[in-house]
């Protein structure tokens, strides 16, 4: 069978795209390496932005203004307007399909303020917003009888097909389609051990699209969230600060306006830590009743992963990699530089976040632009067929036959720490060059990195190696892009070039291969 629209990835972006492609009359298949309900989207806590003005004065114009300001010159006014103007419709749609949003006393959707914004704009479901959205979207997909193929790992795109590793059988499966939507999420897991993301977020779709000829842009822009729990990196949502939580050092002093944009707050915390101080998030004054009603998950996470109860104790925190602003470059229709290959969500750079994403705008992007990607891919498939000329990847049999003399798990750990220290919140030419040299060494060792598990069923060792190979590809792009950008802008802070330079008010493009 040839599908009209093949959606790769079943997070919020993939499911929104699948629903709109299906309602446009297209035949749709959604393929992902895991199960839809476990996609990374389910971890989103704080909320989804829309200028509903349910709690405080607000307007679409203000939402646009906040987003443009935060993008620091790298956002596209056209795309930001599309997203913010579409927000109210996107929320009405989510409400109509049954997302259980928290409510005000008058029964309106409740809204909270997140950092870098001028109003209480983030609509939420306690602090389980992503989970509730994702599960509701999946219910709708089942109702619309959309087809799913789970536990299939994308390896490459070739001609009019995508090739997947069937994780259960380890066989290679070919799926033909007239158009393809990449919705495979971001790449913050490269900062292994120093990230809020799961091991899933290795940016596989970006590496595959790049090998298939798609341009990739702004890879140096990785957002660091100010409040990861210190021991694990697990996120304590911005909603805790939005509700009035304080950031304090070990002398009990507040040292930054907690609701400034994430890049500013993360750098302030970084400086405290560099000066030998510990940093804590303190929400004790909010009281147990408020915490349990509005941010119950934060309390559970702090107890589980840090062993502290935020009702009575301060939470030790540190900034960690959270969101990747770079990705597959797309035009205003969300099509990449490869005709028929669309990209949406965290794997794409639709130029709505620029140098610094605002909290609540990613969930908005995946829903509003997810729907747009589905419509546009369905339209493309009416008269066209994708045709890709891609770089070849080694066969699965070749990978089984590699003699494993270098342990890639050790390299993955080392890479996470090296990235955090050398391409983290603060970077410079020396640290980036040091990282690049290490990456080049690792690249040379890649042919010696194999698997120890030779089984042919659910071989997670094999999948993790494939993901590590993609990690290495993207790592080099991130460091090269960070070296090219000799200025500081949003999340990219170069201590050797601490000022914004107008000459760099443009995207860093890594041209596609094929």
Least gap, CB of 47 to ligand FAD (angstroms): 5
Minimum distance of ligand FAD from residue 113's CB (angstroms): 13
CA–CA gap between residue 507 and residue 485 (Å, rounded): 9
Residue 74 beta carbon to ligand FAD: minimum distance, rounded to whole angstroms: 17
Looking at residue 287, what DSSP letter applies? Answer: -
CB of 429 to ligand FAD, least distance (A): 30
- Residue 201: partners with Cβ closer than 8 Å, 6 or more residues away: 40, 185, 186, 187, 188, 189, 195, 324, 346
Residue 198 Cα to chain centre, angstroms: 10
Smallest gap, in angstroms, from Cβ of residue 191 to ligand FAD? 12
Give backbone dihedrals phi and psi of 164, rounded to 5 degrees, phi first: -125, 150
Q: In whole angstroms, what separates CA 197 from the centre of its chain?
A: 8
| 181, 420, 425 from 370: Cα distances, Å | 9, 31, 30
Q: What secondary structure, in 3-state letters, does 291-306 show?
A: HHHHCHHHHHHHHHHH
Tell the smallest beta-carbon distance from residue 470 to ligand FAD (Å).
7
- Backbone φ and ψ for 5, nearest 5 degrees, come out as -130, 120
Strands of 309-446, DSSP E:
315-324, 327-329, 341-343, 348-349
Q: Which of 262, 267, 299, 489 is catalytic?
A: 262
* Centroid of chain to Cα 322: 7
Show the tokens assigned to 191.
Answer: 């900062």
- Beta strand 2-8 with 172-182: parallel, antiparallel or unpaired? parallel
The CB density around residue 242, as the number of other CB atoms within 10 Å, is: 24
Name the minimum Å distance from CB 73 to ligand FAD: 22
Enter the tokens of residue 342.
């669309």
Q: Considering the complex, state which of residue 137 and residue 436 has its C-beta at the smaller distance from ligand FAD.
A: 137
Give the nearer residue to ligand FAD in terms of CB position, either 345 or 512: 345
Binding residues (CB under 6 A) for ligand FAD: these are 8-14, 32-34, 39-41, 43-48, 129-130, 153-154, 183-185, 196-197, 200, 204-205, 235, 323, 345-346, 359-363, 366
The minimum distance between CB 355 and ligand FAD, in angstroms, equals 16
* Coil, strand or helix at 81: helix
Nearer to ligand FAD, 266 or 362 (CB): 362
Q: If phi over 0 gives left and psi between -120 and 50 gives alpha, with beta otherwise, what is residue 156?
A: beta
In whole angstroms, the minimum distance from the beta carbon of 323 to ligand FAD comes to 6
Q: Which is nearer to ligand FAD, 8 or 259 (CB)?
A: 8
Tell me how many degrees the CA angle 222-228-230 measures, rounded to the nearest 5: 125
Would you say 235 or 268 has its CB closer to ligand FAD? 235
CB nearer to ligand FAD: give 325 or 425: 325
The residue to which tokens 């950008």 are assigned: 485
**Would you say the C-alpha torsion 33, 39, 40, 43 has a positive or negative sign?**
negative
Is the CB of 197 or the CB of 349 nearer to ligand FAD? 197
Residues 6+ apart with CB under 8 A from 30: 7, 8, 9, 10, 14, 15, 18, 36, 141, 146, 147, 148, 149
DSSP class per residue in 224-247: EEEEEETTT--B--THHHHTT-EE
In the complex with ligand FAD, the residue whose CB is nearer, 483 or 490, is: 490
Identify whether 38 is a catalytic site residue. no
In this complex, which beta carbon is closest to ligand FAD, that of residue 213 or of residue 431? 213
- Convert 246-271 into a string of H (helix), E (strand) and C (coil): EEEECCCCECCCCCCCHHHHHHHHHH
**Smallest gap from residue 251 Cβ to ligand FAD (A):** 29
Nearest to ligand FAD of 47, 432 (CB atom): 47
Residue 470 has phi, psi (to 5 degrees) of -65, -40
Q: Would you name the residues annotated as active-site residues? A: 262
């Amino acid at each position: 069978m040839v599908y009209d629209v093949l959606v790769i990835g079943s997070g919020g972006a993939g499911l929104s795209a699948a629903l709109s492609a299906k309602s446009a009359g297209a035949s749709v298949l959604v393929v992902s390496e895991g199960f839809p309900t476990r996609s990374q989207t389910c971890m989103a806590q704080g909320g989804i932005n829309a200028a509903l003005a349910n709690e405080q004065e607000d307007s679409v114009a203000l939402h646009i203004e906040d987003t443009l300001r935060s993008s620091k010159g790298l956002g596209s006014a056209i795309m930001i307007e599309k997203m913010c103007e579409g927000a109210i419709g996107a929320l009405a749609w989510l409400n109509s399909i049954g997302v259980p949003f928290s409510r005000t006393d008058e029964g309106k959707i409740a809204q909270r303020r997140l950092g870098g914004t001028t109003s209480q704009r983030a609509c939420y479901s306690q602090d389980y917003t992503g989970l509730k959205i994702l599960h509701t979207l999946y219910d709708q997909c089942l109702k619309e009888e959309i087809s799913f193929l789970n536990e299939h790992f994308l390896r490459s795109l070739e001609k009019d097909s995508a090739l997947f590793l069937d994780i259960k059988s380890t066989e290679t499966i070919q799926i033909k389609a007239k158009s393809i939507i990449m919705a495979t999420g971001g790449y913050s897991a490269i900062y292994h051990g120093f990230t809020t993301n799961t091991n899933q977020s290795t940016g596989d779709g970006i590496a595959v699209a790049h090998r298939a000829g798609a341009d990739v842009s702004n890879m140096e822009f990785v957002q660091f969230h100010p409040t990861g729990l210190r021991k694990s990196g697990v996120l304590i949502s911005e909603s805790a600060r939005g509700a009035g939580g304080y950031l304090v050092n070990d002398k009990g002093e507040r040292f930054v306006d907690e609701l400034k944009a994430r890049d500013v707050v993360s750098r302030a915390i970084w400086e405290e830590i560099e000066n030998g101080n510990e940093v804590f998030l303190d929400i004790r004054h909010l009281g147990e009743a408020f915490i349990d009603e509005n941010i119950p998950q934060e309390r559970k996470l702090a107890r589980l992963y840090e062993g502290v109860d935020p009702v009575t104790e301060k939470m030790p925190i540190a900034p960690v990699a959270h969101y990747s602003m770079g990705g597959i470059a797309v035009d205003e229709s969300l099509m990449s530089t490869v005709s028929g290959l669309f990209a949406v969500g965290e794997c794409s750079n639709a130029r709505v976040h620029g140098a610094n994403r605002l909290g609540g705008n990613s969930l908005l992007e995946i829903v509003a632009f997810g729907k747009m990607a589905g419509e546009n891919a369905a339209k493309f498939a009416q008269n066209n067929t994708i045709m890709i000329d891609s770089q070849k990847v080694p066969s699965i049999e070749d990978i089984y036959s590699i003699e494993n003399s270098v342990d890639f798990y050790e390299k993955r750990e080392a890479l996470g720490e090296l990235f955090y220290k050398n391409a983290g919140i603060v970077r410079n030419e020396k640290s980036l060059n040091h990282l690049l040299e290490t990456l080049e060494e690792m690249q040379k060792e890649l042919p010696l990195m194999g698997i120890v598990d030779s089984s042919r069923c659910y071989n997670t060792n094999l999948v993790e190696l494939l993901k590590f190979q993609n990690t290495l590809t993207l790592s080099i792009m991130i460091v090269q892009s960070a070296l090219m950008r000799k200025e500081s802008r949003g999340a990219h802070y170069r201590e050797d070039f601490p000022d914004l330079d107008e000459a760099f008010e443009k995207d860093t493009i890594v041209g596609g291969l094929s």
